[in-house]
Amino acid sequence: MAVHPNTFHLTIASVGETRFDGAAVSATLPGTSGQFTVLAHHEPFVTTLKGGTIVVRLNDGEHKEFAIENGVLECSRSRVVVLL
């Protein structure tokens, strides 16, 4: 399956389980210094997250929500990893 040019690979993992692993169009996250949204080809960065909800928009227009307590986001050129 060809990767859609406007999607990126997103992984949301806690120690026990992987809560999300797949392509996403955008993800809105509660950062410690404010809410932000990641799109494809975001500049590489690392940030800490606070409690709140992660909203992931998928390719087919659907939404997925994940409640989190805290976490770390790592964004590299090809993928985004959220550790809870």
Among 32, 35, 37, 53, binds other proteins (CB under 8 A): 32
In whole angstroms, give the CA distance from residue 21 to residue 31: 20
Among 46, 51, 53, 59, binds other proteins (CB under 8 A): 46
Contact yes or no for 29/39 (Cβ under 8 A): no
Q: Is the CB of 52 or the CB of 63 nearer to other proteins?
A: 52
| Residue partners of 45: CB distance under 8 A and separation at least 6 | 75
Q: Is the CB of 37 or the CB of 70 nearer to other proteins?
A: 70
Which residue, 12, 8, 7, is CA-closest to 55? Answer: 12
Cα 7 to the center of its chain, rounded Å: 11
- Residue span binding other proteins (CB under 8 A) among the ranges 2-10, 22-30, 58-66, 70-78: 70-78
Footprint of other proteins (CB under 8 A): 11, 13-18, 31-33, 43-48, 70-72, 74, 76-77, 81, 83
